A and B are shown apart, each in its own frame.
Chain A
Amino acid sequence: MKSITKQKPFDEIKQQLDRFDRVYIIGCGTCATMTKTGGKEEVLDMKKRLEELDKLVTGWTVIPTACDEMTEVAIREVDGAIRNVNCILVTACALGVHRVSLYIEKPVIPALDTLFIGIEDSPGYFHEVCAQCGQCIMGETASICPLTACHKGLLNGPCGGTNNGKCEVDKEKDCAWTLIYQRLRDQGRLDLMRKYHPPKNYQVMPRPKIIKLT
Chain B
Amino acid sequence: MASNFKQLLNSGKFVITSEISPPKGTNIEKMLHHIDLLKDKVDALNVTDHQSSVMHFPSLGGCQVIEERGGEPILQMTCRDRNRIALQAELLLAYTRGIRNVLCLTGDAVVVGDHKEAKGVFDLDSVQLLRTIRQMELGKDLGGNNLDGTIEFCAGAIVTPEARPIEPQLIKFENKVEAGAEFFQTQAIYDLDNFAKFMQNARQFPVKILAGIVLLSSARMAKYMAENVPGIFVPQYLIDELASAPKGGALNKGIEIAGRMITSLKKEALCDGVHIMAIGREEVVPDILEAAGLPSRVMA
Q: Which residues of B contact A160 (CB under 8 A)?
A: 106, 158-160, 163, 169, 187, 230-231
* A102 CB, nearest partner CB in chain B, Å: 30
Residue A154, interface by CB 8 Å: yes
User: Which residue of chain B is the closest to A185 with respect to CB atoms?
Assistant: B167
The reply to whether A193 and B125 form a contact with Cβ atoms under 8 Å apart is no
The reply to whether B158 and A155 form a contact with Cβ atoms under 8 Å apart is no
Residue A169, interface by CB 8 Å: yes
Q: Is the interface of A mostly helix, strand, loop or mixed?
A: loop
Residue A152, interface by CB 8 Å: yes
Q: Which of B173-181, B191-199, B275-283 is near enough to bind chain A?
A: B173-181
Known: A155-B128, A160-B158, A164-B164. A193 touches B171 (CB 8 A): yes
Interface residues of B in 126-153 (CB under 8 A from A): 126-128, 131, 142
C-alpha spacing A155/B125, complex, angstroms: 7
The reply to whether A157 and B171 form a contact with Cβ atoms under 8 Å apart is yes
Q: Which of B107-115, B242-250, B260-268, B289-297 is near enough to bind chain A?
A: B107-115
C-alpha spacing A180/B168, complex, angstroms: 9
User: Which residue of chain A is the closest to B163 with respect to CB atoms?
Assistant: A162
Residue A128, interface by CB 8 Å: no
Instruction: Identify which of B123, B178, B179, B230 contacts A161 (C-beta below 8 A).
Output: B230
C-alpha spacing A143/B163, complex, angstroms: 24
The reply to whether B84 and A199 form a contact with Cβ atoms under 8 Å apart is yes
Q: How large is the interface on B (under 10, 10 to 19, 20 to 34, 35 or more residues)?
A: 35 or more
Instruction: Identify which of B108, B169, B178 contacts A196 (C-beta below 8 A).
Output: B178
The reply to whether A178 and B165 form a contact with Cβ atoms under 8 Å apart is yes
C-alpha spacing A154/B108, complex, angstroms: 12
The reply to whether A194 and B171 form a contact with Cβ atoms under 8 Å apart is yes
* A211 CB, nearest partner CB in chain B, Å: 24
C-alpha spacing A202/B124, complex, angstroms: 11
The reply to whether B164 and A181 form a contact with Cβ atoms under 8 Å apart is no
The reply to whether B125 and A154 form a contact with Cβ atoms under 8 Å apart is yes
Known: A156-B125, A168-B109, A169-B111. A163 touches B164 (CB 8 A): yes
User: Which residue of chain B is the closest to A152 with respect to CB atoms?
Assistant: B122
Residue A53, interface by CB 8 Å: no
Residue B172, interface by CB 8 Å: yes
Which 9 residue pairs spanning A and B have beta carbons closest together?
A157-B172, A163-B230, A181-B168, A156-B127, A160-B160, A159-B106, A152-B122, A169-B109, A193-B171
Given contacts A162-B169, A196-B178, 18 further A-B contacts (CB under 8 A): A152-B80, A152-B122, A156-B126, A156-B175, A160-B159, A160-B160, A160-B230, A162-B231, A164-B165, A178-B165, A181-B171, A193-B168, A193-B171, A196-B175, A198-B128, A199-B84, A199-B128, A199-B142
What are some 22 contacts across the A-B interface (CB < 8 A)? A156-B172, A156-B175, A159-B126, A160-B106, A160-B158, A160-B160, A160-B163, A161-B108, A161-B231, A162-B163, A162-B165, A163-B164, A165-B164, A168-B112, A169-B111, A180-B168, A181-B165, A181-B168, A181-B171, A185-B167, A190-B171, A196-B131
**Residues of A near any B CB (own CB < 8 A):** 151-165, 168-169, 177-178, 180-181, 185, 190, 193-194, 196-200, 202
